[in-house]
Amino acid sequence: MLPLAFKLEGAECLVLGAGNVGAYKARQLLDAGARVHVISPEVIGELPDGLASLQVRPYQRGDLEGYALVVSATANGPVNDEIVAEARERRVWLNVVDDLERSNFYFMALVRRGEVCVAVTTQGASPALAQELRDRVSAVVPASAATAATALRAERRRLHELGETTEGRDWRGLVRQLLDDEPA
């Protein structure tokens, strides 16, 4: 397992299933900037605004074509078997909700402060533990982390525009100052 951060802005993503879990996964993908499509035989959960498309029908072989990432939240074993087979054939990133063995990626518990994102995983051992740890981490990540990230991005950009490197610089003092850990 290697935690990675995917840039999903504009990526075509598919969520199969529109229960509460499918709706939550769709919201997470939308928050990451993805173009989210949902296919489900029925809509039970409260789907977020901003979906690229919603098709109220069962999954059909071929539905995964053209998608970079797929979430299967069908709660239907035989349908998931078909989805897993198609995803493997197409080499599509697939998360089968509550089935780590058949997923080639999974969602982590996140703490977000603007551009700062701290992810917690138990590698599928216990989502409840990951969520509890996320809540504890959230309590110590200051709200100022968001503005600090913005200021540091601007400073790095300024240095690059001057033709200077950002490598080897001691950023800790500025970081602490921006996070209000040290007096200015």
- DSSP symbol at 101: G
Task: Tell me the two tokens of residue 174.
Answer: 């500025």
Q: Which residues of the chain have pLDDT under 50?
A: 182-184
The whole-number pLDDT of residue 98 equals: 82
Structural domains of the chain sorted by starting position, each given as residue range(s) with its CATH number in brackets: 12-107 (3.40.50.720), 144-178 (no CATH)
**Across the strands, what pairs with 95?**
71
Q: Are strands 109-113 and 116-120 parallel, antiparallel or unpaired?
A: antiparallel
Percent of the chain with pLDDT over 70: 98
The whole-number pLDDT of residue 182 equals: 45
The whole-number pLDDT of residue 181 equals: 60
Listed in sequence order, the DSSP H helices in 91-179 are 127-138, 144-161, 172-178
The whole-number pLDDT of residue 184 equals: 42
Q: How far apart are CA 142 and CA 149, in angstroms?
A: 12
The whole-number pLDDT of residue 124 equals: 80
pLDDT tens digits, 140-179: 999 999 999 999 999 999 999 999 898 888 899 899 999 9
